[in-house]
Chains A and B, each alone.
Chain A
């Protein structure tokens, strides 16, 4: 499964979600192949995206949040799984882009890559709904897996999606500073909510 395929499947299934991404290849896959959802593209520090997504979800329980999380970002801070499970954020779902290595940093393997089971870690941390999509999943299985995550009857819910190792070089310094990206997201969210209110 390519990162782009996963991002495209998410975009098709989750047009009504606010997206938060970790830095690195998961965020870039969403930027290049995702949808027009209001999106906060996370940046440094690594390991902060899940906490940030939890805080956002708790602050706005009226919205649905989807965190697109790189496995390197997640393993930097596995303890956050406890906080999210404990908070019981019913409006937060997570897709982990799992290739077992630090793609942007040069492809070095994660600690215990190939042995650790991130889904089992989440289950052990108290998450009520966890599934794993294997690397060789068909397009239909991928779409069904994403739809099952979004329709999960309990949350927080987490989908570990095994994606292929693909080159993901740095894309340069980017056009926006962190604060500019934050302000752009907040404007995008306001406009999105305004259009939703107008529509309905």
Chain B
């Protein structure tokens, strides 16, 4: 079973369209296999400035800098990135009130077959909520509207919003 088959490419195209429709002009990313098609799609998108980082808190800071200048942005990362970046996320939520969208691969759920991912599924949504962020579960194409509206909600709330995305939401149905 490929993580990056045609289903994944189609999902990536649809998600990227929604992100653009939500006003996203900048994306900062750190890879996860579930996010690979979307990162490739965004990197090739002439309407979205893509930035590669080596830590997720850098991605959040970069997205916050774009927000400071009035631009909407998205962070693409694994949910472990939410854990690593909690300090800057809490600061942007409570201290600076800088809006951004996080599209996170929600590793560690019941669909995930790797023991080392489990802890992320157990704690990341709770940590994000404790940091003051709105958290939405994205489980499939029926939730695609959130990729567009998430940016708007972040802007209205003046704080980051997290979309915890299942494997199916990011890669489509397994081939």
Contacts and interface: CB of A to CB of B under 8 A. Distances in A.
B25 A59 contact: yes
Nearest to A54: B62
A48 B98 CA distance: 13
A179 B67 CA distance: 13
B56 to A, nearest CB: 11
Nearest to B94: A178
A83 B95 contact: no
Interface stretch (A39-47, A112-120, A160-168): A39-47
B91 A55 contact: no
Interface in B31-66: 49, 51-55, 57-66
Task: Report the interface size class on chain B.
Answer: 20 to 34
A8 interface: no
Q: Quick one: which of A43, A57, A58, A177 has the most chain B CB within 10 A? A: A58
A48 B63 CA distance: 11
B65 to A, nearest CB: 2
Interface residues of A, dominant DSSP: helix
Given A55-B26, A55-B73, A79-B55, A179 B65 contact: no
A154 B27 CA distance: 24
A102 interface: no
8 contacts: A47-B57, A48-B60, A50-B61, A51-B57, A51-B62, A56-B69, A179-B96, A182-B68
B87 interface: yes
Contacts of A181: 96
Nearest to A79: B54
Contact of B61 (A48, A59, A60, A179): A48
B65 A59 contact: yes
Given A55-B73, A185-B68, A83 B62 contact: yes
